[in-house]
Amino acid sequence: MTAVAPRFDAVIHPPPRLQVCGLLAAVDTMDFAAVRDTVGVSDSVLSKHVKQLEEAGYVRVRKATRASRLRTSLALTEQGRAAFAAHVAELRRITGG
């Protein structure tokens, strides 16, 4: 019994975005800077990838002022979690999970 229907997702598959989704899947929300540093990409590159995920409806971007500083937090949407789970399931299928 598979929890989710395996489904390859081209928006999620590219390395940087797969990493971003993997990080966000494990938490509730994560700051832009933390994701950037963990994934190891530049601001502009992360921003562009996040935009792709946001436009796909997978990530929610919330900007807030915390401690007098602009803080952008990222989180997977429900749709994003579902798509990621489905993609991971498909990867397992392909790779012989």
**Interface residues toward a copy of itself, by CB under 8 A:** 8, 10, 13, 15, 18-19, 21-22, 25-26, 84, 88, 91, 94-96
From a copy of itself, DNA, none, interface partner of 96 (C-beta below 5 to 8 A by class): a copy of itself
Q: Which residues form the interface with DNA (CB under 7 A)?
A: 14-17, 31-33, 41-45, 47-52, 61, 63, 65, 68-72
Provide the 8-state DSSP code for 44: H
Q: Quote the CA–CA distance of 21 and 60 in Å, as a whole number.
A: 12
Q: Which residues contact 4 (CB under 8 A, 6 or more apart)?
A: 82, 85, 86, 89
Query: Taking CB within 5 to 8 Å according to partner kind, which of DNA, a copy of itself, none is near residue 49?
Result: DNA
The residues that bridge with 65 in the sheet, in sequence order, are 70
For a copy of itself, the closer CB: 17 or 32: 17
